[in-house]
C-alpha cells in the first residue's frame, strides 16, 4: 500500500555498517517498508561486508569476506597511509555503489533494464507490475555506523561519470562513525537541492566525547553551509538518578545491567538473543518512529510531543558515564 495521499511508493536506500550485510538490518528496513516505502538494502562490495557474492562479467561467482587494511594488495596503486585514508577510499567506492543501485533499479522498474542481470528477473517475477508505482524522484538515503559515514560521503561528492545527480529529499544517519569523514563534515555539493539531515545516536556514541564533538560539527556545518534542516538526537537510557547513592559492588552491578541504547540496537543482532530481544524490539520501535517521522517531514512534531533538551551525565563509582533519563526518552541536542 502506498503512503496515504500518494499513488506511488517513495524510495529508501540503506547502507550497512562494518561487518554488516543487507540482511543484518531486517528490523529497520522491514519496518520502514511496512509504512509504504520501497527499501533497497545495499550489500557493499568494498570489503566491509561480512560476506558477499560477486558475479563477474563472465558470470563467475566469487565470495568476498571482510577485508582488513593489511590484507589488501595495491599493485601499482598508491597504498593509503593508515586506516582512516583506507576507509575514505572505501567510502568513495560505496558512494559509487549508491548511484549504481539507484540507476539500475530505476531502469528495472521503467522496463529499460537492457542487459542487467539480477536475481529478481531470473527468479521469474514480473517486473512490469512495478512500472509507474514507485516514485524514484522521492528518494531518501540512510545508513548505520560506517553506513552513516557513507551518507555523509555521498553528500560531499558530486556524482561520478556517467551518472546524473540523484533526487535526494532527506538523509538519515543512524549512530554514524565519523572518524574517516573529513572535518568539518560534508561540504554541500552544488548538485544537491539541500536535503534535510537527521542523526539518531545511541548513548554510547554520544558519551564518546571526542567523536560526538566531530558529529556535532558535521550537523552544525550542514545547517550553516547548506542552509538546510539538520537534527541530532540521542535515544534511550534507564533512569539512574535513584542509583546515585550506591557504592562498591552494587554500583558495579547496576552499571553493567542498565538498560540503555547501544550501537548494536540499530541492527538485528540484539533481537536474536532471548535475554535482549524484548528490550531490543522496544528500541526498534523507537528508531522506527523517529525514522519514518523524519522521512515524512514530521520529525519536529514527533519530538515536540515530549521535548527534552540538554545533557545530564552521571558518572558512577567505577568511573563509567551514563546519560540521566528514562528508557525510550529522546534527547534533542542543540
For the stretch 38-86, pLDDT in tens is 999 999 999 999 888 888 778 788 888 888 888 888 787 888 888 888 9
Domain ranges of the chain: 9-234+329-333
Choice among 98-107, 181-190, 323-332 with the minimum mean pLDDT: 181-190
pLDDT at site 85:
87
- pLDDT value for 241: 47
Cβ-in-10-Å burial (0-12, 13-18, 19+) of 30 comes to middle
CB neighbours of 192 closer than 8 A, spacing ≥ 6? Answer: 155, 165, 168
Q: Among 38-52, 149-163, 180-194, 217-231, name the one with the lowest average pLDDT.
A: 180-194
Higher pLDDT, 132 or 174: 174
Residue 258: pLDDT over 70: no
- Report the pLDDT averaged over residues 266-273: 89
Read off the pLDDT band of 191 (50, 70, 90): low
Mean pLDDT of the region 97-115 = 82
Q: In this model, does residue 164 exceed pLDDT 90?
A: no
- Please, which pLDDT band fits residue 312 given cuts at 50, 70 and 90? low
Average pLDDT, the chain: 83
Give the pTM: 0.88
Q: What percent of the chain shows pLDDT beyond 90?
A: 42
**Which range is least confidently modeled, 138-147, 209-218, 310-319?**
310-319
In this prediction, residue 244 carries a pLDDT of 46
% residues pLDDT > 70 (the chain):
80
**pLDDT recorded at residue 169:** 93
Domain 9-234+329-333 bears CATH identifier 3.40.50.1820 = yes
Q: What is the pLDDT of residue 309?
A: 60
State the DSSP string of 81-140. SSHHHHHHHHHHHHHHHHHHHHHHHHHHHTT--TT---HHHHTT--GGGGTTSEEEEEEE
Quickly list H helices, the chain. Answer: 26-33, 83-109, 119-122, 146-156, 203-206, 209-221, 248-257, 274-295, 299-303
Of 74, 49, 78, the closest CA to residue 150 belongs to 49
Quick one: average pLDDT of 216-227?
Answer: 86
Q: Dump pLDDT digits (tens) for 175-185.
A: 999 999 877 66
Residue 115 pLDDT > 60: no
Name the pLDDT band for 165 (thresholds 50, 70, 90).
confident
Amino acid at each position: 500500500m502506498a503512503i496515504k495521499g500518494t499513488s506511488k511508493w517513495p524510495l529508501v536506500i540503506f547502507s550497512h555498517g562494518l561487518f554488516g550485510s543487507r540482511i543484518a538490518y531486517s528490523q529497520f528496513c522491514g519496518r520502514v517498508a511496512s509504512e509504504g516505502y520501497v527499501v533497497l538494502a545495499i550489500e557493499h562490495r568494498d570489503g566491509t561486508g561480512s560476506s558477499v557474492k560477486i558475479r563477474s562479467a563472465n558470470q563467475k561467482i566469487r565470495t568476498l569476506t571482510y577485508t582488513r587494511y593489511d590484507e589488501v594488495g595495491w599493485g601499482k596503486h598508491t597504498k593509503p597511509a593508515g586506516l582512516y585514508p583506507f576507509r575514505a577510499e572505501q567510502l568513495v567506492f560505496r558512494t559509487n555503489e549508491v548511484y549504481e543501485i539507484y540507476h539500475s533499479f530505476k531502469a528495472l522498474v521503467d522496463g529499460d533494464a537492457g542487459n542487467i542481470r539480477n536475481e529478481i528477473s531470473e527468479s521469474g517475477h514480473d517486473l512490469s507490475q512495478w512500472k509507474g508505482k514507485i516514485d524514484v524522484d522521492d528518494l531518501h538515503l540512510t545508513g548505520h555506523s560506517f553506513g552513516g559515514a557513507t551518507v555523509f560521503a555521498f553528500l560531499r561528492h558530486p556524482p561520478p561519470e556517467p551518472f546524473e545527480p540523484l533526487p535526494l529529499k532527506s538523509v538519515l544517519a543512524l549512530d554514524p562513525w565519523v572518524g574517516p569523514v573529513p572535518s568539518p563534515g560534508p561540504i554541500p555539493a552544488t548538485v544537491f537541492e539541500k536535503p534535510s539531515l537527521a542523526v539518531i545516536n545511541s548513548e554510547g556514541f554520544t558519551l564518546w566525547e571526542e567523536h560526538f564533538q566531530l558529529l556535532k560539527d558535521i550537523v552544525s556545518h550542514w545547517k550553516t553551509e547548506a542552509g538546510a534542516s539538520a537534527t541530532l538526537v540521542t535515544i534511550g537510557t534507564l533512569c539512574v538518578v535513584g542509583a546515585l547513592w550506591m557504592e562498591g559492588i552494587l554500583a558495579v552491578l547496576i552499571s553493567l545491567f542498565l538498560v540503555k541504547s547501544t550501537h548494536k540496537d540499530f541492527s538485528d543482532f540484539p533481537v536474536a538473543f532471548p535475554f535482549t530481544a524484548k528490550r531490543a524490539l522496544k528500541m526498534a520501535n523507537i528508531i522506527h518512529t523517529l525514522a519514518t517521522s523524519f522521512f515524512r517531514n514530521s520529525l519536529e512534531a514527533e519530538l515536540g510531543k515530549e521535548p527534552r533538551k540538554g545533557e545530564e551525565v552521571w558518572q558512577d563509582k567505577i568511573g563509567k558515564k551514563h546519560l540521566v533519563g528514562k528508557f525510550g526518552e529522546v534527547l534533542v541536542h542543540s
